[in-house]
A and B are shown apart, each in its own frame.
Chain A
Amino acid sequence: MITFDNIRYRHLAIDTLAIAPGVTSVIGPNGSGKSTFLKLCAGIAEPDCGTVLVDGCAPRETEIGYVNEFPDRNILFSTVTDELASPLRFRHTPCRETDRSVRACMETMGITRLLDRNMQDLSGGEKILVALAAAFIGRPRVLILDECDSHLDADRCAWLNTALRASGAGYVIRCTQQMETAAEGDHLVYIEGGGVVHAGTPAAVFPLLADTPFYPFSWRWPV
């Protein structure tokens, strides 16, 4: 489990929360604290008080793949190849194995055409696909994605939902503003005003949001 206990950080306050393995969608209004929540899960931020644990370990002691909501803030290197190779190089993976993994990852992600491109020449969606690939390539235990789907077309979104399941990550935690996507997850966390207002399965949480714009269209008007 990923556990939050007595967390206080900036305007986020979470007394207790447990996230089970699987795909967890995090939804809520702009500025409610969703990205801050993800940064605490990833160990990018540390709480002023309280603890976040991933199966009993601190996030910084766990292999985590993270994609920032600002596509440009994911970029460390100038070329797609270097960007993708970087998580493996940081681990001192042998060069030949790194090259093999980069090529295999690009094929899996359907982005082999980007191989020789510069990061700054990519479209917004392509930058996100490369950032996703860099998050996937290290086969992390936890994948944390901050609104990646807002830059992807419908086919890529559908592909991503399948790829997340096949990634081997025990936990996938993703912010999304696509409620149809959130409805497909295993768990749903609704954050508002810096606190977790609802948490549970989509079937349990969405009915509590039935009178809000966060209720999925396909649930409101089944086709």
Chain B
Amino acid sequence: MRLVLDHLTMGHQLWSLTANGIFFPGVHLVSGDVGSGKSTLALMMAGLLAPESGTVIRDDIPQMMLSFQFPEYHVTGLSVAEECRSWDLDPDAVIRSAGIDVTGETAALSLSRGELKRLHLACVLARDYDLLLLDEPFSSLDCPGKEWVCGQLNKRAGGITVIFTHEQSIFPDIDHIWEIVGEELADCGDMPGAVVRWQHAPPLVKKLICTGRSPLALTPEGIREAACRTRG
């Protein structure tokens, strides 16, 4: 199983992006500045947007899911129950999993954005996909919600997970880091070595690296271990 980006190019007069690389099973993190093309890249990976040149090869990936940055774009049901059923899921089970204080009759678009994001992610994470593309999965989530998503992703049995995010604190166990720099997708490599090449590393991670305590993992446990490590 692999996702191949073979010399992709995309852009217009003010902006462009080139991407080349192979995504193997594991959890991949893609970061980049606002407007650098992360969501566009996610759409191309999912086959929802054709690149101007180059190809996306989804090799041995029968099932795929793209979670949009804005959870409201996914809503097709008027009520929470209708929305859950549109994913062919039991509403009560989804509401329990999402940890939100609503009923099935609650209007889906009356939820707060954080509640809507939880509901949407509970629907997405209820099934296993060979390729799971998550565009800003942590935006609008509270800290316990972010930890819940990380726990769900860490439990994924296999497949390729690609997370496009600006998140600065709470991450799942990341295997590989990529970032968009200078209109190009750069491969920072596998963890833990990738973190020292990662220009978009969160400020706390950068501080740890500067003090000679590069984290071995980006999980809260990994950050704690690095922060508590005796400087040698």
Which residue of the partner chain A has the closest CB to B143?
A213
Stretch at the interface among A1-9, A51-59, A150-158: A150-158
B152 within 8 A of A: no
Cβ of B142 and Cβ of A28 under 8 Å apart? yes
Hey, which chain B residues are within 8 Å of A124, CB to CB? 39, 69-70, 136, 139
Cβ of B168 and Cβ of A178 under 8 Å apart? yes
Cβ of B202 and Cβ of A179 under 8 Å apart? no
Rounded to whole angstroms, the CA-CA distance of A212 and B204 in the bound complex is 19
Other-chain contact of A30, B35, B118, B207 (Cβ < 8 Å): B118
Instruction: Please report the total number of B residues contacting A with Cβ < 8 Å.
Output: 49
Check A156/B33 contact, CB under 8 A, given A147-B140, A214-B143, A223-B211.
yes
Cβ of A154 and Cβ of B203 under 8 Å apart? yes
B220 within 8 A of A: yes
A77 within 8 A of B: no
Other-chain contact of A180, B140, B146, B203 (Cβ < 8 Å): B203
Hey, which chain B residues are within 8 Å of A155, CB to CB? 33
What is the CB-to-nearest-CB distance from B155 to chain A, in angstroms, rounded to a whole number?
18
In the complex, per-residue mask of A75-88: 1 if CB is within 8 Å of any chain B CB, else 0: 00000000000000
Cβ of B227 and Cβ of A177 under 8 Å apart? no
In the complex, per-residue mask of A19-32: 1 if CB is within 8 Å of any chain B CB, else 0: 00000000011110
Rounded to whole angstroms, the CA-CA distance of A29 and B140 in the bound complex is 10
Interfacial residues of chain A within 91-122, with CB under 8 A of chain B in the complex: 113, 117, 122
Hey, which chain A residues are within 8 Å of B232, CB to CB? none
B114 within 8 A of A: yes
Cβ of B166 and Cβ of A30 under 8 Å apart? no
B129 within 8 A of A: no
Cβ of B168 and Cβ of A30 under 8 Å apart? no
Interfacial residues of chain B within 89-137, with CB under 8 A of chain A in the complex: 100-102, 111-115, 117-118, 136
Check A153/B136 contact, CB under 8 A, given A222-B227, A223-B227.
no
Cβ of A154 and Cβ of B202 under 8 Å apart? yes
Give the size category of A's interface with B.
35 or more
Cβ of A151 and Cβ of B136 under 8 Å apart? yes
B62 within 8 A of A: no
B46 within 8 A of A: no
Cβ of A213 and Cβ of B223 under 8 Å apart? no
B86 within 8 A of A: no
A221 within 8 A of B: yes
Rounded to whole angstroms, the CA-CA distance of A63 and B97 in the bound complex is 42
| Interface CB pairs A-B, < 8 A, 12 | A29-B144, A35-B112, A70-B72, A123-B38, A126-B35, A150-B140, A151-B136, A153-B31, A153-B200, A178-B168, A213-B147, A220-B224
Interface positions of B (Cβ within 8 A of A) = 14, 31-35, 38-39, 69-70, 72, 100-102, 111-115, 117-118, 136, 138-147, 166, 168-170, 200, 202-204, 207-208, 211, 213, 220, 223-224, 227-228
Give 4 new A-B contacts, CB below 8 A, not counting A31-B111, A126-B34, A157-B166. A31-B114, A152-B166, A153-B33, A180-B169
